Amino acid sequence: MKINNRLNEIQEYHFKKIEDIKENLIKSGKDILDLSIGDPDLPVNNDIVNELISATNKKKFNMYPPYEGIKELKTAIIKYYREVFGVKLELDEVLVLIGSKEGINNIIPAVCNIGDYVVVPNPCYQVYVTSPKLWGAIPYKVPILGKNKYLPILSNIPENIVKKSKLFIINYPNNPTGAEGNEEFYKEIVSFCNKRDIILVNDSAYIEIVNSGKRPVSLLQYDKEKTSIEIGTFSKTFNMTGFRIGYAVGNSKVINALLKIKSNVDSGQFMPIQYAAAKALSLDRNIIEKNKKIYDERRNCAKNILKSKNIKFYDSEAAFYIWCNVPKNYTTTEFCEKLINDYGIIVTPGNSFGDVSNTYFRISLTRDIKLIEKYLCKIQQF
Ligand SMILES: Cc1ncc(COP(=O)(O)O)c(C=O)c1O
């Protein structure tokens, strides 16, 4: 039987592998703490759950939803961008998605022809690399380094690649490093992409997971002509990973192309989930602040323990990840295996985020602080 050749270039999704390892360890009776995948352990607000349930009483709740999303959710997203970021959006500049992963995948055929380049950061959330490959586009991996606060140096991208690039994907706050974008960088990259006719996409999955003293920042605040788009999600801000609900906002031409792909390959999300998402955006922002404080405490706790163990890390204040250096004389695979076998701690090896990260690993702060403390304290000093 013959299957798509392009699949040969793609590995099994790394968290699927980790899930299998974890299942075997649990079966063998090992006491473990999973700090690998970024799946929040915090509860979903009751009002969101109640809205999900009560929306099943609405007429036609079980039928195909509108492809672009229900108007109630689109207007809630417009209000959110206006109030939180001061960005004005029209209805045709908003598209509801089945999670941001769907949007990241579908933006490739929406924008790229076969053989076009997509500039992506290295390391990164690997969907930016695998989706272009699946659709016959070519990912160009631009290194992002700690010494440059994990922001790409745009002048380092070869001119011949720039000429063939249609799309530039960035992700701030960043997975896996926890780095943040800033005004100067956003302005620079918007202008870089505009001059070269490249569509810029910020994956803003962690936009609200920043240190509790800080305000969230959107790329669209610095894109006055609205040439770019931002792909967002309810997964991390509202602990709704399993709901599968996200959105794309920004340039209406790009949004429309994305809708064209979406309407041909999938449908809208279940309407009660869309109502629940609209409810999430209407809630007092204190619930977001509360979550941010919890992540701050976990981040500080983990950083202090790592320091005491002589494990170096990028001193970030955003996303719920800590990007750590593997101690000397280990590869990331060896060290992550040691953490599992000796201390029962599952983390994500750096090479799951790209081929430059063999000396890093990622800790996800999506478990209770007491567990984080208990397990990390077990690690020996390096
Ligand atoms: C950077 C980044 N983007 C997107 C996603 C996917 O989020 P969603 O649940 O909205 O598909 C993740 C999930 O971990 C992520 O880390």
C-alpha closest to that of 14 among 146, 180, 129, 181: 129
CA–CA dist 28, 327 (Å, integer): 28
pLDDT tens for residues 104-152? 999 999 999 999 999 999 999 999 999 999 999 999 999 999 999 999 9
Cα–Cα distance, 360 to 177 (Å, whole number): 10
Calpha distance 100→266 (Å, rounded): 14
For 115-219, strand residue ranges (E) read 117-122, 138-143, 165-170, 199-203
Cβ of 125 less than 6 Å from ligand 1: yes
- In angstroms, the CA 345 to CA 113 distance is 43
Percentage of the chain modeled with pLDDT above 70: 99
pTM of the model: 0.96
* 122 beta partners: 143
Amino acid in the structure at residue 212: S
Residue range 71-102, pLDDT digits in tens? 999 999 999 999 999 999 999 999 999 999 99
Residue 380 has pLDDT above 90, yes or no: yes
Strand order across the 360-364 sheet: 321-325, 360-364, 348-349
| Ligand 1 neighbourhood includes 235 CB (under 6 angstroms) | yes
Ligand 1 midpoint to CA 101 (Å): 6
Q: For ligand 1, is residue 255 a contact (CB within 6 Å)?
A: no
Of 310, 305, 326, 313, the C-alpha closest to 377 is 305
Cβ of 203 below 6 Å from ligand 1: yes
The tokens for 206 are 């962690």
Tokens of 352: 């799951």
Closest CA to 228 of 194, 181, 265, 279: 194
Euclidean distance between CA atoms 182 and 170, whole angstroms: 13
Do 339 and 376 meet the contact criterion of CB atoms below 8 Å apart?
no
